[in-house]
Amino acid sequence: MSINRRHLLASSVALSAINPALTKANPELLSPKELPIASFDNSRDTHPGAIGFNVEDRLAIINLCNSYASGYDAADLERWFLLFTHNPICTIHNMDAQPVRLEGAAFRAAFESLRHSETPLTVQPLHYNGNVTVKTQTANTATSEMYMIYIPFDVTAQDHNGIHAGALDATFTSRYRFNVVKIEDVWRIAEYAIYFDQRAA
């Protein structure tokens, strides 16, 4: 089997693992379905270049969003879950499917199952996020958005010559929207939505 086919197959299997996890968690199906383009926030309430916000808070919010991606890839879920409030909500908008809402324990169970399913398949998930933008910010709440590119790196696709061609190909793109809150001087993710641009299972 070629490197490209093997790592794409591993990616598909890993991502499909979230389906039984979601079913087991008894998620709430939402409607109507929202297409990726509808996830863009075209609000003109605040100019992107406006000032007047707390700079320390702004940097903490951006770091929180970046840590979402790097923390998941590091597989330290105990620390990753600290990025969230006690009862976080995640809504997954997948192509060709109704949105799925996960909350609290169901959210944790689903993402634990998904992340653990990738390790036996020799898949090192690599999430590359960019265009992190804070859309609104008050003293204790904020909303932010970012793009995400997903690369399921097959760790067996490397030797003394380096990483094989095709082993770092992106397979999915998505957009994230976070609602974050500041609790005791620490910003945490209270609710967020994932909008996949392709069918991801």
pLDDT in tens, 12-57: 444 444 554 454 544 455 544 555 556 677 776 778 888 999 999 9
Q: Concatenate the DSSP letters of all residues of 2-58 into one string.
A: -HHHHHHHHHHHHHHTHHHHHHHT-PEE-SS---GGGG-----SS-TT---S-HHHH
In one letter, which amino acid is 168? L
Whether 69 is covered by a domain: the verdict is yes
Total of domains in the chain: 1
Q: CATH number, domain at 92?
A: 3.10.450.50
Whether 47 is covered by a domain: the verdict is no
Phi and psi of 165, rounded to 5°?
-60, 135
What confidence score (pLDDT) does residue 14 get? 42
Instruction: Tell me whether residue 192 is exposed, middle or buried, using C-beta atoms within 10 angstroms of its C-beta: 0 to 12, 13 to 18, 19 or more.
Output: buried
Instruction: Tell me whether residue 53 is exposed, middle or buried, using C-beta atoms within 10 angstroms of its C-beta: 0 to 12, 13 to 18, 19 or more.
Output: middle
Whether 139 is covered by a domain: the verdict is yes
Whether 28 is covered by a domain: the verdict is yes
Whether 118 is covered by a domain: the verdict is yes
What confidence score (pLDDT) does residue 121 get? 87
Domain ranges, residue 172: 3-36+53-196
Helical (H) or strand (E) element with 113: helix 105-118
Map tokens 């979402």 to a residue: 68
Whether 179 is covered by a domain: the verdict is yes
| Better pLDDT: 127 or 28 | 127
> How many Å apart are CA 22 and CA 121, to the nearest integer?
20
pLDDT in tens, 55-106: 999 999 999 999 999 999 999 999 999 999 999 999 999 887 889 999 999 9
| Better pLDDT: 88 or 120 | 88
Whether 78 is covered by a domain: the verdict is yes
**Three-state SS at 165:** coil
Whether 121 is covered by a domain: the verdict is yes
